[in-house]
Structure 1
Amino acid sequence: MTVHHPQSPQFFLTSPSPCPYLPGRAERKVFTHLVGERAPGLLDLLSQGGFRRSQNIAYRPACEKCRACISVRILTDEFQPSRNMRRILKTNSDLVGELRGAEPSSEQYSLFRSYLESRHASGGMAEMSVLDYAMMIEDSQVDTRVVEYRKRGPDSGFTDDRSGELMAVALTDVMSDGLSMVYSYFETEAQERSLGTYMILDHIEKARRMGLPYLYLGYWVKGSKKMDYKIRFQPQEHLTPKGWERYQG
């Protein structure tokens, strides 16, 4: 007979569903609930084991015949931006992003809808209502922040950082050993800014300033064009059967 401690997390397995990254394959996930005062510590522990958070759920792939999803984290102290990344930082020097409370707004939702319609019109999030969006932001029992990236400075005509045009948003968890980028979206018409890359660069710097050694980027899938961008941020570690190991690519 198996006895569970009342506060021990219970894990569940999803039914197979189509893989969003590799065509023709099915995925399954193992998950548990993040609830109560133990949620932050549990998220820390599970993130080190390759789990990700979605609202009050922590999950990771548990596919029977596939191990393509690899957990990735960037070593913030050692990271040095490439020449192209430095150009992106310079291009976006008129933006400011600040870690704030996890509070949704109609302005955020408008940008979120525009992003989905441009990039993921047929994806699983395409039908999210404003209430669904609010739940995505607020339904967390860990230290979750929203980073709003807005224009600032004389070139944009704004002097108040909170009044500038909203260009990008990141939903971010603050953990004991790093920041974890849960979800991000941006103004897709501003292609010259490479805002997706910029937000990662900014989060690396934020983690470094906070004394946090890692930026968790979720899963990298070799052969998936959706995931190719993650491998450009070096040095990084990948979670292997032996534990976290520096990626030698």
Structure 2
Amino acid sequence: MQWRTIFRKEMLEYWRNFSWIWVPIVFIILAIMDPLTTYYMPIILDKAGGLPESAVFEMPDISAVDAFMMSLSEYSMFGVLVIVLITMGAIAGERKSGVVELILVKPVHYGTYISSKWAAKLTVVLASASIGLLTSWYYVSLLFGDIPFVLIIQAIFFYSLWFVLVITITIFFSCLFKSSSAVFGTSIVTLISMSAIYRVFSHKLSWFPNSLSGHISEMLQTETISNSLWGASMITIASTLIILSISIHIFRKKELA
């Protein structure tokens, strides 16, 4: 009952601050920006002018899979930034304002409080990201070629695991610090460090969470789910559960202190 109550409170808050409107819009723009720009670039350059006379601008042939992966690339960059920005104050903001004390005095279990807010944030972000990727798939199918719908659903599922981990990492630092700027900085540094580690040791870390995008691209091309994709997914899920558990433990210690 407590979990549902806090979850509903968060959902209501997202309606009131228009998160259910602007977050999906942001993810739709991120998802369709690169595929549409790439397809219409010759027309844009022709209309804008600036090319020498008789010059011909030819775009390389881009497959439907490559076009769709452009959307995931934007998500990996700007989508992650958006997620950290909208998640960094989830716990830290309420700790700083004193709202946490008012809620926990009910009493509410620490795990209930953290997990319900975590689930509410997942609901908004994953729904918005899925809408964006489905919109991208629609335009990619029109402009570049068809990708089976089943593969797109699989791609959305596996890539969502990466977003779940990003949200969990941000929630962890939100339990650790009261300052939203500190949460933002440490979350971004952690994610950049993970990316750097994977770039250096990618040949040895085929199950690392950052490898999900590469395995998804392979899945879309071969239409089969590789063992590496399953392995990376399991590691990502396990890492998420461990970090979430540590977050609850840290939050309980800090509040009891």
After TM superposition, is the score higher than 0.5? no
Give the structure with higher Rg (CA).
Answer: 2
More helix, by proportion = 2
